[in-house]
Structure 1
Amino acid sequence: MRALVTGASGCLGRALVEELAAHGWDLRTTARMPAALPDFMAADLVTADLRPLLAGVDVVFHCAALSSAWGAEAEFIAANVTATRRLLDAAERAGVMRFVFASTPSLYADGTDRLDVAEDAPLPGRCVTPYAHSKRLAEQMVLAADGQMRCNAIRPRAIYGRHDRALLPRLIGAMRRGTVPMIGGGRALIDVTHRRDAARAMILAASAPGGRVWNVTSGRAFAFRDLVEIAGRRSGLRFRRLPIPYSLAMSLATAAEAFARSRGGAEPALTRQAVASLGRSLTLDISAARRDLGYRPLVSFEEGLAECFA
C-alpha cells in the first residue's frame, strides 16, 4: 500500500511516517517547507498542483493544518478548509481508495465543562475559535465525501511528544518565564494523546468502514495543575503557580488580543483559546474507537513526557 502523509513534518505527521514505515508501507510525504522525509515533495495544498502528490497513492492521511491559538479567520479557512477540499477532490480524481483526516475535539468546546463527550454529543451553535470553526467545516466535507473513496476522521485530544510545537512547548515556555497561570485554580480536566497513539488510530481508521469519526486520547484525564506538577518535576524548572479566576483570565485574554492586533498582530502571551482550553474541562469518551477500531492507548503521559526532554 502506498500512502501520502500531509503535514508530515509536524508532530502527528512524523509519528505517522514512523509507524507506517515500521509496518512496511510505501510512503510519500509532503509539507510546505523542505524536510528530510521519505519521497518528500514540498507543496502548498492551497495553491499547488496536487496531481504529482497523489499519483499511485492508495491512502491519504491528511494531517496538514493551521493549528494555532492565534490568527486571522481567512488564514484558517484557507489552510484548513480550502486545502482539504482541494485534496479531497484531487484524491478522488486520482483513484485514492481511503482518506483519513486528523480533526480536533476543539469543536466540542462551548465555554462550559464537558466530560466524557461522545462523538454524537451536541456541538455548539458557534465554535469558540476560528481554528475550531475551520476544522469543523473541513471534517464535515471529509465525511460527506465518503463513497467510492472511503473517508474517515479522528478527533485526537491534545497531541504531544517529540516534535510537539504547541502543548508542552507553551507550558515549558511559561515555566521558564517563571509563572504558570492556574485558570480556575488549575482544576480543569484535560485528556492528552501521545503522538504514537494518535498515529496508530489514524492507521486503524484507514481500514474501517467509511463516513465515521472517532475520539482518540491516551485514556486518562489529568487536572491541569497535575499536568503542570508532572512536567515541572521532569523539567527541573522553578516557577510559581498563579491562580486566576476564569472570568478574569478571559477578560485579560480579550484585552491582550485587542492590544496585539493594534500592534500588528503578534500572538499575545494569553489568548482566549488558551483560557478556554486550560480553564474548562473537556474529556472524551473513546469507547467507540476501542469498539470499532480495536484502538488501545499504549503510551502513558509519564512515558511520553520523557521523550520530550530526551
Structure 2
Amino acid sequence: MKILVTGGTGFIGRHLVWHLAAQGCQVLFSGRNATAAAEVIAHSPAPVQWLALAHGSAQAAERLAEASQGCAAIVHCAALSSPWGAPQAFRQANLDATAEVIHACKANAVPRLVHLSTPSLYFDFTDRLGIREDQPLPAPVNEYARTKAQAETLLAEAQLPKCVILRPRAVFGPWDQTLMPRLLRVMRRGAIPLMRGGQAQLDLTCVENLVHAVWLALTRPLPRPLCVYNLSNATPMAFADLLQQLATQLHLPLRTRRLPWRLVHGVAHLLELKARLGNGAEPLITRYGAGVLAFSQTLDTRAICRELGYAPVISQAEGIARYAQWWLARQETPDEP
C-alpha cells in the first residue's frame, strides 16, 4: 500500500519511513531538509521517495493533495516540538500543517489518517498519574501544547472516515534530536538540577514501540471513526534513576544538585522574560522544560492495548541500551545529537 509520511526527515518520521519500507509499502515522505532526506533514503531498506515541502506555504496544501493521490493512509508526523518559539511558527507547523493534511485526505478520499499528537496537552505543573485519554484537558502551558490541542480539534471536526490520534510520551531512540541530547548537554557541562528530590515519575516511549503502535493503527480494524490513544512503555521510572541509567550506559559522569522547585521556576521565569525582551532565543531553561522533570506524569495505556492489541516490542532498558550503543558508535558530542 502507498503511504505518505509527513515530517519524514525528523527523528520519529525517519523511523516510520524505514519500517514502512521494510514492510513492503510504497513510501513517500515530506520534509524541507535535503541533507536529512538524503540520509533517510540512504538508510532505507527499500526505495522511498522524498517530497520537498514546507508546510504553511501557499502551495503546500495543493502539493500535498497531489502527492497523496492513491494513498491508503497518511501518517502525520510533521510538527514543531519545542518548549520555546514564536507563536506563528507553532501555528504554521502544527495547525496549518494539520489543516493541509485534512485537505489532502478529503480531496483524495484517503481511507485512514494517523496523527501524532502529544501528552503535553495534559501537563499543568502538578503530579498526574495514570492519565486517561478522556480526562478533561487543562489550559495549555505553552504554544506547543496550544497548537497541538487545536490540531486535535480540527481532526475531530473533520469527520474523516478513520483517524487515529496517538499521544506518545517522551519518545527517544537513535536520531533523537530533543529529549536525550538536552539531558546529555547538561550532563557533560555541569550538575543536573534535581527538583523535588528527583523522584518525579516519568513515562518514556522507545521509538521502536511508537513505530509498532503506528503500524497497528494503520493495519488493525478501528472501533470507531476517531480513536485517541495514549502511548508509552508503561514502565515509569524516577528522574534520578533515569539519569543514573544514562550515565552508566553512556560512560558519562553524573553530577546532580538538589534545588527547590520554586527557585528553579523563578529563575526560568526571569530567563524567559529576558529572552522575550532580547532576541527571542530559547533560554537556557524554561518553566515547562523544568516542570516536566519536576512533576510526575504517567499515562494509562490500556485503551490502545485493548483495542489495537498494542504491547511494547522492546523494554525500556533495552531501548536505553540501544540508544547508548548508537550514540557511542557515532562518537558524538552533546551538541551534535
Q: How many residues align?
A: 308
Distance 1:163 1:229 in 2: 21
Where structure 1 has 5 or more consecutive residues not aligned to the other structure, the ranges are none
Counterparts of 1:276 and 1:140 in 2: how far apart (Å)? 25
Q: Give me the whole-angstrom Cα distance separating, in 2, the residues matched to 1:88 and 1:296.
A: 29
Give the TM-score of the pair, scaled to structure 2: 0.88
SS in 2 for 1:185: helix
Rounded to whole Å, the distance in 2 between the matches of 1:57 and 1:6 is 13
Deviations 1:54-97 (A, max 9, x none): 12212000000000011022211111011101211122102211
CA–CA distance in 1 between the matches of 2:53 and 2:120?
27
For structure 2, the 5+ residue unaligned runs are 42-47, 327-337
Match of 1:241 among 228, 250, 256: 256
- Aligned residues of 1:45 and 1:87 also touching (Cα < 8 A): no
1:133 matched to 2:146: yes
Partner of 1:6: 6
Matched residues in 2 for 1:264 and 1:29: separation?
34
| Mapped contact 1:184–1:279 kept (Cα < 8 A) | yes
What amino acid does structure 1 have at the position aligned with 2:163? C
- Residues 143 and 152 in structure 1, CA contact (< 8 A), matched pair in contact too: no
- In the alignment, the residues of structure 2 paired with residue 191 and residue 288 of structure 1 have an alpha-carbon distance, to the nearest angstrom, of 16
Q: Which residue of 1 aligns with 2:65?
A: 51
Question: What is the aligned counterpart of 2:234 among 204, 208, 219?
Answer: 219
1:40 aligns with 2:53: no
For 1:155 and 1:146, the matched residues in 2 are separated by 19
| SS across alignment from 1:175 | helix
Q: CA RMSD in A?
A: 1.3
- Could you tell me which amino acid in structure 2 is paired with residue 40 of structure 1? W
Q: How far apart, CA to CA, are the structure 2 residues paired with 1:29 and 1:55?
A: 13
Question: Which residue in the other structure is 1:27 paired with?
Answer: 27
Runs of at least 4 residues off by over 6 Å? none
| C-alpha deviation, 1:110, in angstroms | 1.2
**Alignment correspondent of 1:105:** 119
- Structure 2 residue identity aligned to 1:294: G
**Displacement of 1:27:** 0.7
Cα deviation 1:92-142 (Å, max 9, x = unaligned) = 102211111000001011111000111111211x11111011101101212
Matched, 1:71 2:85: yes
Q: In structure 2, which of residues 272, 283, 286 is the aligned counterpart of residue 257 of structure 1?
A: 272
CA–CA distance in structure 2, aligned partners of residues 263 and 305 of structure 1: 38
Q: Which amino acid aligns with 2:56?
A: V
Q: Distance in 1 between matches of 2:65 and 2:141?
A: 35
Paired with 1:261 and 1:307, the residues of 2 have a C-alpha distance of 38
Share of identical aligned residues, percent? Answer: 40
Q: TM-score, normalised by structure 1?
A: 0.96
Partner of 1:185: 197
Residue 287 of structure 1: aligned partner: 302
